[in-house]
Amino acid sequence: MNSSESTPVVRLTGVTKTYVKGEVKVTPLENANISVQAGDFVALMGPSGSGKSTLLNLIAGIDRATSGRVEVAGRDITLASENDLAVWRRRTLGYVFQQFNLMPVLTAAENVELPLLNLPLDRERRRRQVATVLELVGLADRADHYPRQLSGGQEQRVAIARVLAADPQLILADEPTGSLDRESARGVMDLLVQLNERFQKTLIIVTHDPEVAGRARRRLRLDKGQFTDEPTPGPS
């Protein structure tokens, strides 16, 4: 799954992204190239404002490259329409955010079920999938709890379960442990490692935490618009 001969799940070729803020042009990515293989687990590091979240948004089709080509799961999404991207995104990838983004008026199970409502599944199958992923993330006994009744680590696990419910090929995570205490962060990272190793999910995570980055198979640093592969530190 992680060999150089496998088809890249993500490939950016000559990608530049420029924003205009007032009279100033900001270019977080400049003629950048990156390839991520199926089954890889990549930690993306770099200074604040270096373009890490911009990269995730380009891969997810949330943002558009100023120039260059973005290919994800075998598709060039550079010129795809917004409607096509919305359908493609639901079928291809999941996005985990730092702040969980759970609906406070819905239970854990109802939050996990949300993305399934856009898929051609009957109610019984949706319920089975929700139960399966909540069991996987260790929260089967919290299905009827609301976000306010959960710890931060549990909320992030619900957010990950919500992503897993649609069985995405690629998971993007933007600082998934950034608002968690150390113990909860390690629990979330244990789960992400399991998803990669046991279920061969391809993961790309943005992090500032060297301990988190050390759990990945590959570490990339983004600085001044360019990517550099770095050795991944072994366990301390």
DSSP 4: T
Global pTM?
A: 0.89
pLDDT surpassing 70 at residue 1: no
- Reply yes or no on domain 39-63+81-230 having CATH 3.20.10.10: no
pLDDT surpassing 90 at residue 131: yes
Tell me, what's the pLDDT at 227? 86
Average pLDDT over residues 175-199: 93
Spacing of C-alpha 152 from chain mean position: 18
Per domain, the residue ranges of the chain are: 39-63+81-230
CA gap 153, 181 in Å, rounded: 8
Query: Sorting pLDDT into bands at 50, 70 and 90, what band is 4?
Result: very low
**Nearest in space to 215 (alpha carbons), one of 41, 53, 81:** 41
Spacing of C-alpha 120 from chain mean position: 24
Tell me, what's the pLDDT at 232? 58
Contact at 8 Å (CB) between 69 and 12?
A: yes
- The amino acid present at 50, given as its one-letter code, is S
